[in-house]
Structure 1
Amino acid sequence: MKSFDIIVVGGGLIGLSTALGLSKQNFNIALVDPYLNEFLDKESPDLRVSALFQSSINILKKLEVWGELPSEKLCYFNSMEVYEHEHSKIELSAKEFKRSYVGCFVENFRVQTELLLKISEEPGISMFKSKVCKLDILGNRHNEISLLDGKTLKSKYIIAADGLNSSIRKLSDIGVTSWKYNQECLIVNIKSFDPFVKTTWQKFFSSGAKAFLPLYENYASLIWYDDPDKIKCLTQLDSNSLKKELLEQFPERLGDFDVLVKGSFPISRLHAHNYIKNNVILIGDAAHSIHPLAGQGVNLGFKDLEVLLRCFEDKICPTNSYLIKHYETLRKRDNSLIQNFMDLFYCGFSCENLLVERIRNKVLNLCGKNHYIKRKIHDLINT
C-alpha cells in the first residue's frame, strides 16, 4: 500500500490542474485516471473546445502552463454577442472594458498535454493509469482506494475531479439534485474560405440557441442546441447535407465553409448536496454541471480550484469543518447562482409566448445599452 497526502482522481483539465497546483504547495500527490497520457496532436481542431476567461487563464499562468501552449493554436476573441433579434443585443467587447481580449478558445487536449508535461517534471506527483473500483472511509485520519490493477492507495484527502458521472462521488454516497434538459447539443467544426472576425456570438431561437466559436486560422466550431430527435437527425447527415442545413438555419454571418467533423452530447444539470464528506472533496463537474450556454462549465471548475488551493496554502491540512466553511459554502453559493442564471436564459428563450418574447428582448436591449449591467456581467465571468 502506498501513502500520499492527497489523492486526485480525474485526468481532465480540473483534475490535472488540481494535482499540479497542490504539488507546487509541497503536497505528496497521487493522480489517478485510466486515460492518462492518451492525448494526440491533430492537424485540425478537436471537438472538445473550451472558452477560458481571465480567472482561468490566470490559474494556468500560475501553474506555468499557459505560456507553454502554442500561441498559433489559441484564439483570443475580442467581442461576445448574445441576441435574439438584431435590435436587442448584449455585446461585451474588450475595447469597452479596456482589455486586450474577452476570453480565449482553446482545445482541451492541448492544455491537458501541457499540464501532463509539467506533472511529469514534478517529483511530488505519482501517476496511476487505472480505475478506482473501491473506496474505504477509515475515519478522519485517512481513506483508501483500490484500483482495478490491484494497487491500493492511502491518503488523508481524496479529491474527486472525475466528472459528471463521478465514481468517487457515488462511492462516497454523496447525493445530488440533477435533471436532463429537453435539449442536446450538436458541435460542428468547420473551415472557412475566408478569415473570421474574432467575435463569438450566440443567437437564441425557441428551439434552442445557435452559436459561433472562432478558433485558430480559419477554423471555427458551430454549436446547435435543439430537441434530441432533431439533433439525432442532424448527426446522421452527410457533410454536404449538413452544410446546407447550417446555412439555412444559422444567421447569415458564416460565409462559405467546409464541414470537417461533428459530434453531439446530451445536456444535464447537476449539483451535489455536499462538496465535502469524510475528507472526500468534490471539484468541477463532479460537484456541479450547468447548461453550456455561456461556456462557464470549466471556468467554474477553475474557480473551485482557486478557492481550494487557498484552503491548502503552506501545506496546511484543513479539517472538514474548515473546508465546509471556506470552500463548500462559498463555491456552492456561487455555482448555484450561475446555474440559476443559465436556467433563466434556457427557460426564458424556450418560451414561444409573444408577451414573454417582448419582455426578454426589452431586457436584452436594456442590458445591452447599460454599461453598469454589462460591467457586472463581465466581472461575473472573469473574476
Structure 2
Amino acid sequence: MNFKVPRGTQDILPDVSWKWQRVENIIQSVCDVYNYKEIRTPIFEQTELFQRTVGDTTDIVQKEMYTFTDKGNRSMTLRPEGTAAVVRSFVENKMFGYADQPVKLFYTGPMFRYERQQAGRYRQFVQFGVEAIGSDDPAIDAEVIELAMTVYKRAGLSDIKLVLNSLGDKESRNSHREALIAHFTPHIGEFCQDCQNRLEKNPLRILDCKVDREHPLMETAPSLADYLNESSSAYFEKVKQYLDIAGIEYEYDPNLVRGLDYYNHTAFEIMSTSKGFGAITTLCGGGRYNGLAEEIGGPPAPGIGFAMSIERLLLALEAEEKSWTDEPSLDVYLVTLGDAARTKGFELIGKLRENGLRSEMDYMDRKMKAQMKSADRLHANYVIVIGEDEVNENTVQLKNMADGQQKKVSMDDLLEELKK
C-alpha cells in the first residue's frame, strides 16, 4: 500500500523549511520589539468553546471544524483559529489580574479547517496571530495593525494594502441588525439556505455570502456606517488618527465584514495587490472583540488581534518575485580520506560544532571529488581536507571556497584561523 500525505495538507521539506524558519525569526523579532510575549495553547479544545466564540452561524462552525468524541465521551475540536483558545487561557489563568495591562500575546502554530484546497490554503495551515487583551484604547488597535504591517514589510513585501472598517458597538450593531432583517426578509427565499438561516441569528453574515454576492439586494443593503452611534464613530476616527500618525496608509471599506461573529468596532484586512497573487487576495485579517472574555465566563476584558497565514505570506513573496534565494550556508565541510582521517575528522567536527560552526562531513565513504561536490552543493564557506599525511602531521588543508585559496593549518590553530 502506498501512503500519501492527507488531502489538504503538505510536507514542508528541508529545501523550503528554512524559509519558514526565517519568517518565524522575523515574527519573533518584531514581537519582541513591540513587547508581545509568546503563548502556546493546545491543538484541540472543547467544541463548545468555538461554538460560543466563533459563532454557530459561521462557515467554520457549521462546515469546517474537525470535531471528534474522545474516550471520555467529550466533544473535542482541532482548533480552527487561535483567538478563542488564547482568550480561554487568559480567563482560565486569570491574566486579567496581571499588574501590566493590556496583556500582549502572540502565537504561531497549526490550525485545521475542512476547506477545499487552493493555492496557499490548506486544511492544516499555520497561523501567526497577536492578541492584546485588557484595553479599549484606540491606540492599541493602531499598534496591532502596525505590528502586522511591520512583519510583512520586514519579510520583504511591498505590494500590500490595509483595508479598514468599523463594525460599531453593541448598540450600533443592533440598530443595523434590525435594518438588515427588514431589508432582506421580503426576498429571503431568493437566497441560499445558509443566508436564510442567518437572517434572524446574524444577518450581517449575509453580506459576506459568496453564493449570493451578486444578488441586487446586496448592493442596496443598509450600510453599517449609517448606523454607527456617536461613540462608535469617535472611536473609529481615533483609530484612523493613530494610523495617520504612524504613517500607515489605509482604505476605508464600509462593506468589510470579518467571517467570525465575535468582532466589533475596528475590523481590518491586509491584502496583496500583486498581479500574480491570485483571486483570493487577503493575507491577514483581524479586529476588536470586546465581550469575548465575558462570553466564556470571564470578567470584562476588551481585546483586539489578528491572524495571518504563513503559507500565504510565502506565496505573496513569490508573486512579487521576492522569494528568498540565500539559503543559509555551511561554515565548514570536512573532506576525509581513509579510516584514520575519518576518525580524526569526527573528533574535529565535534569541536567545530561546540564553537558554533555549522559543520558537515561525509558519511558515505565517497571519493574526494564527490565530497567536494557535496561541499559545493551545501554552499560551504570553507572545506577542511584531512588525509593520511594530515593525520600524521596533526594538520589540515583549509580551502576558502570563495577565492579558491588553500593552505596548511595546524589542527591546534584551526579554530583561531577560522575566526579570522
| TM-score, structure 2 normalization | 0.23
Which structure is higher in helix share?
A: 2
Instruction: Name which one, 1 or 2, has greater alpha-carbon Rg.
Output: 2
| TM-score, structure 1 normalization | 0.25
Which structure is higher in strand share?
A: 1
